[in-house]
Amino acid sequence: MNIQISVVVWTVICFLLLMLILKNLLFKPVLRMLDNRKEKIEGAREKKAEIERITAENEEYIQKQREYDMEVHEKKAKEQAQKIQAEGKKEIEAAQRKSLDEIKAYRESIIDEYEDIVKSVAPEMETAAAIFAKNIIMHRV
């Protein structure tokens, strides 16, 4: 086995030529593609972080808005409840006044009827009392 210089030189030249061709046609495009991919991944990570930040801000805003809405609705509900209670008290007072007026009118009509009955029965009471007394005396004796 002899080492032939010409074969070694041509082998080295072919290897270097192959490396040059591969560098320009294969390695550079692959490295460029990997760099582009890395940039896209970094861009996607940045977008993800931005989206997470915006989502957190939106959730915080929504929570604050819900709390504000609850406060507003509670205030409105309390105001409406107080308004309804005030109206109910007014209606109750009006009904009480009406009832008292009706009771007073009924009392007056009862008193009037009583007086009419007493006036109509009074003359006959003396006679009825005398008959009653007579019956009591007769039964005891």
- Evaluated on CA atoms 95, 100, 101, 102, the torsion sign reads positive
Query: Rounded to whole angstroms, how far apart are CA atoms 109 and 116?
Result: 10
CA separation for the pair 27, 33 (Å, rounded): 10
CA gyration radius, the chain: 57
Look at residue 92 in the predicted model and tell me its pLDDT: 93
Handedness of CA 17, 18, 21, 23 (dihedral sign): negative
| HSE of 2, CA atoms in CB hemisphere, 13 A | 3
Mean pLDDT for the chain overall = 90
Residue 140 pLDDT more than 70?
A: no
Task: Kindly state the tokens that stand for 124.
Answer: 């006959």
Q: What is the pLDDT of residue 61?
A: 96
Contacts of range 79-88, beta carbons closer than 8 Å, 24 or more positions apart: none
Q: Which of 25-34, 64-73, 111-120 is the least confident region? A: 111-120
pLDDT digit string (tens) for 79-121?
999 999 999 999 999 999 999 999 999 999 999 888 888 788 7
- Tell me 118's DSSP state: H
| CB under 8 A, 24+ apart: contacts of 123-129 | none
Tell me the residue type at 24.
Answer: N
